[in-house]
Chain A
Amino acid sequence: MNTNNDQMNIFLADDDEDDRSLFKLAFDETKLNSNLSLFKSGTELMEYLNQDDIKLPHILFLDLNMPGKTGAQCLAEIKANQKFRNMSVAIYSTSNSDKDIEDTLSGGANIYIHKPNDFQKLKQIIKHVLKINWQYHTSGLNRESFFLSI
């Protein structure tokens, strides 16, 4: 097992099974030194995150529209807790309304991703986001003003 400190730790919370497996497939093809965990709902995600002594992800991809606990609710809980201050949140949504983008970034998300229809595009986006996020982790850049919308 690779326990390299340089390994990126990534979470995805999405209730749609197809979206999850597509993301996983695209993610595997990026071949970056990283590790992906999948969550089926906001509730499952937050239960996991709220445990003690877990390894927090460098970045969380969060679907907005989930039954039960929504992505927006998860985001609010995450931002209210200091424990998660070093974790980037990427909203991963079918919506690309300006309002959703502004609201979630204003609410503390770092990245807003409009789910693409095209697999190649998805691969590019995941790779791009992970690379940019890594720079914020390794180069002491200001996470407070780290916003990206794609």
Chain B
Amino acid sequence: MIQEKYTTVYFSRISVKENDDEMKFNIVYQANLIPMAILKEQLEKFDINYVACNHGEIDILDEISEDHYKQLELSLGKYSIEILYDQKSQLVQRIKNILQEVAYDENQQLLTLSDYLSNQLGLSYGYISYVFTTQTFTSIENFVIMLKIERAKKLIIEGVQSIKEISYTLNYSSVGHFSRQFKKTTGLTISVFKKIVNNRKSKRTVIK
């Protein structure tokens, strides 16, 4: 029923000046559009760039400073609009952030990865691993290997360290182990990878 989407509000204003005449306004509004309009207004107030998507979703294009964020939350609170967090995707992001740190950590870890995650997030590893896998299509273990190989690629492209040095930097037990995992993950040997990167580079220079 279409009517259900609309609510009519009658409100009256007592006029003080004139002879106690009562003025009546009738307004009609679409309840589901109001929060969105308020949200847009508030985002604009704080100069935050956004894109309105389907299903009442808004994509924020900028990083919001913590200060602005608090003010925004407070302003929205006045309209009883609450910011809800998708807890699972938030958790996944936190896991990824920790894994990123781990992959870039030069020092050997004292704890195993599962204990470390569990300690950092205050959740059981079983739950962490379950949420991660259902949300990302990959396992934590495979993701860590991917991050490590990504870092290896970066170091290879930079060309400062030798392959031997890189395998030490990344805590591989040997060059052989590193080479095998690189080949297994990318399907390419390190030397073919280097060749492709160089080919692309020279192509780019030609275009310039």
Contact = CB atoms under 8 A, between A and B. Distances in A.
A150 interface: yes
Given A32-B137, A106-B199, A149-B186, A142 B153 contact: yes
B203 A106 contact: yes
A142 B158 CA distance: 14
Given A102-B192, A131-B137, A135-B138, A147 B199 contact: no
B52 interface: no
B96 A139 contact: yes
A18 B153 CA distance: 37
Contacts, number: 59
B187 A148 contact: yes
Contacts of B196: 102, 105-106, 147
B150 A148 contact: no
Interface in A120-150: 130-132, 134-135, 138-139, 141-142, 145, 147-150
Contacts of A102: 192, 195-196, 199
B193 A147 contact: yes
B109 interface: no
A92 interface: no
Contact of B154 (A3, A145, A150): A145
Interface string A88-115: 0000000000100110011110001000
Contact of B186 (A5, A108, A148): A148
15 contacts: A32-B137, A98-B192, A102-B195, A102-B196, A105-B188, A106-B200, A108-B200, A132-B138, A132-B146, A142-B150, A145-B153, A145-B157, A148-B186, A148-B188, A149-B186
Given A105-B188, A142-B150, 12 more contacts: A102-B195, A112-B187, A131-B137, A134-B136, A138-B136, A139-B96, A141-B150, A142-B153, A147-B188, A147-B196, A149-B186, A149-B188
Interface of B: 53-55, 57, 96, 136-138, 143, 146, 150, 153-154, 157, 186-188, 192-193, 195-197, 199-200, 203
